[in-house]
Amino acid sequence: MTERLSHLAPRLLLLALIVLPWLARADAFDEELLTIQQRWAEIQYQLAEDDRADAFEALREHTRAFAERHPRRAEAKIWDGIVLGTWAGAKGGLGALSLVKQARQDFQAAIALDERSLDGSALTSLGSLYYQVPGWPISFGDDDKARELLTRALEINPDGIDSNYFYADFLLDQGDRAGARRYFEKALQAPARPQRPLADQGRRDEISDKLKALAS
């Protein structure tokens, strides 16, 4: 028995040398991703509206470097795209269109890598761009494409707060008030994300405002 263990020890050591650095890199990636997510929520839900564009611009420097360091990780591209998209919304005007186009490229790249990453967030985010931006010849807006992407996201994450919120908002944009109300209410019942309480509360506040407007 002792002899067998002595032969096994070098193999276990080699395995540890391979696995432990990989686990450390995985932990570092997840920690940085969470830092980005938390900073995004602070900007989106706690900063004054006039201060958001500059803050998102600064955060985008972080997400761009993050995505460049991890070119095969869909999560990094998703969050670079999310920051670009919300920066565009905060900036407004024609100057925001180039940011939106860059965000679309990030989401398309993330979908090509793994469309199920982060519960289909690339599909949700890209779908939201397609119904919110102007159509041709100004930009790439396309309601049919938006519906396709948003419903695919719901198939992956049927109970998520964001997947239901953005599908509800799309239906509202299409004039389907009853459908919008149904999905907004479902979004309010979504399970909490323990590591993202500020994002959850901010989204719930947005949903409550939409439901109040629908009831008026």
Report if pTM > 0.75.
Answer: yes
Exposure string for 18-55, b = 16+ CB within 10 A, e = fewer: eeeeeeeeeeebeebbeebbebbbebbeeeeeeebbeb
Residue-wise pLDDT for 130-154, tens only, equals 999 999 999 999 999 999 999 999 9
Residue-wise pLDDT for 186-201, tens only, equals 999 999 999 999 999 9
CA distance 174 to 176: 6
The average confidence (pLDDT) of the chain is: 92
pLDDT band of residue 95 (cuts 50, 70, 90) is: confident
pLDDT band of residue 80 (cuts 50, 70, 90) is: very high
**Three-class secondary structure of residue 185 per DSSP:** helix
